[in-house]
Structure 1
Amino acid sequence: MLTSALAFAGVAAIINVTPGLDTLLVLRTSVAHGRDGGLAAALGILTGCLAWGAATAIGLTALLTASRFAYDALRIGGAVYLAWLGGTALWRARRRAGEGAAEAQDGEAASPVTPRNRWAAFRAGLGTNLLNPKAGLFYMSLIPQFIPAGAPVFSATLLLTAIDVAELALWYWLVTHAASALGERIRRPAFRRRLEQFSGVAFLGFAANLALHDRA
């Protein structure tokens, strides 16, 4: 099992550091709301990963391939949620453009971090992960390949899930600290608006990709 776990850790590490939706969400939140906001978004994503891993261990993720309705319902729900995140980001960018003079005077790089902001960041991370059927298919298709013959499937699945989550936690910690430091150094309101615009377009792109994705 040790050899399989090490092999899985290597493959998962390559996948985890590949830029994608979750990393973009953590980066954007860290710049907009500082380190605490980014960590809250990362915690939401990691919670979703743990849920997918547990679902895989007890066989629930098999519903995504066995039931076309279940897959499509989750896929459409996720696409709508991502579209909402993208539209919200673009709206914020437009609103900040209208408040550019005031922002230029106060020169802050990040919005104040409040419990409400942290909770919103956590919900965003959890929602983008749980409403993405590709996340469930990732665990269901990848983890079984690294479970040795004769090994207990339930405990082995939870072990590999824990390895993946630990790697993601380290990666998001690095992204959060780097992005929050960048946000503190670049205090130009225009930078924050451009980031919101880029994030909004990217979220809409992820939404379109998810909406058009066919599991077959």
Structure 2
Amino acid sequence: MDAQLIAFTGVAAGMVAMPGADFTVVVRNALVSRRAGIVCALGVAGGLLLHTALAVAGVAAVLAAVPALFRALQLMGGGYVLYLGARTLWSLRRPRVPAAEATGARRTGAVATGARRTGAVAAEATGTVSSAARPLRQGFVTNALNPKAPITFLSLLPQFVPAGSPALPRTLLLALIVVVLALLWFPAVALLVDRLGRWLREPRAARAVEGITGAALTLLGVLLLLEPLRAA
């Protein structure tokens, strides 16, 4: 592996791991279940695959050359992230579980876990995929509607193509590195959240984390919406 490839891997790892809407939406789904978190992470990786493919194809240059299209995509992305945040905050209005019920739920945690696993198997046996489709869609759309990503990759990838070497094979390799890093990082985040799930799913902790993630998504959505409006 040459020095440029090592340097790019470090830069790309920092970009992928940077907290943002992708990270928050994966955490939000991982709090629901391990499966939802991992599926959402795969959706985020799918969005990154789309962006890197666009960058390699040069389509991102069109976004840079057509400000109106760029702003429209910014507004769509910001609106979707804001929607996710608002829906998360709205869900906090549901009644809290009484302490007695929470204690009983903890005592029967093993039974509940077994029931969830049985339910998951039954759902798979009957062919229901809606539970997986939603987090996959959320992860993909959250990432795919970020118009900055393809432009970032378009400006970044050429910096790591050695002079005189064929551009297409090299940029394809760089794009593959980004996707692989996403496939490692976001599922790892989902698994970590699931591992801490017993504590995070306690009524008070769950509501606190849900409130934080909802507020973070809402703030990110507002900032994403304000940026193109200011530019206009």
Point out where structure 1 has 5 or more consecutive residues left out of the alignment. none
- Percent identical among aligned pairs is 36
- 2:54 maps to 55
- 1:130 maps to 144
Q: What is the RMSD of the two structures over their aligned residues, measured on CA atoms?
A: 2.3
Aligned to 1:213, the other structure's residue is in SS state helix
Q: What is the Cα deviation at residue 186 of structure 1? A: 4.0
CA distance in 2: counterparts of 1:186 and 1:65, whole angstroms: 42
Matched, 1:45 2:44: yes
Q: What is the Cα deviation at residue 99 of structure 1? A: 4.0
CA distance in 2: counterparts of 1:187 and 1:122, whole angstroms: 22
How many corresponding residue pairs?
212
Point out where structure 2 has 5 or more consecutive residues left out of the alignment. 124-128
What TM-score, normalized to structure 1?
A: 0.89
CA distance in 1: counterparts of 2:130 and 2:204, whole angstroms: 25
Aligned to 2:92, the other structure's residue is in SS state helix
Correspondence 1:108-127 to 2 at 5 A: 115-127=129-141
Aligned to 2:19, the other structure's residue is in SS state coil
Aligned to 1:203, the other structure's residue is in SS state helix
Q: Which amino acid aligns with 2:11?
A: V
Residue in structure 2 matching 1:101, options 80, 98, 101: 98
Aligned to 2:134, the other structure's residue is in SS state helix
Contact 2:8 2:160 (8 Å CA) reproduced: yes
Matched, 1:168 2:168: no
CA distance in 1: counterparts of 2:155 and 2:225, whole angstroms: 21
Q: Which amino acid aligns with 1:151?
A: S
Contact 1:44 1:123 (8 Å CA) reproduced: yes
Q: Which amino acid aligns with 2:53?
A: A
- 2:13 maps to 13
- 1:68 maps to 67
Q: What is the Cα deviation at residue 78 of structure 1? A: 0.6
Q: Structure 1 residues 84, 14: CA separation in 2 closer, same or farther (over 3 Å shift)?
A: same
CA distance in 1: counterparts of 2:96 and 2:145, whole angstroms: 34
Structure 1 or 2, whichever has the larger Rg, is 2
Summarize deviations over 1:93-138 as a string: whole Å, max 9, x none. 222xx1422962535799x566322210000000100111122222
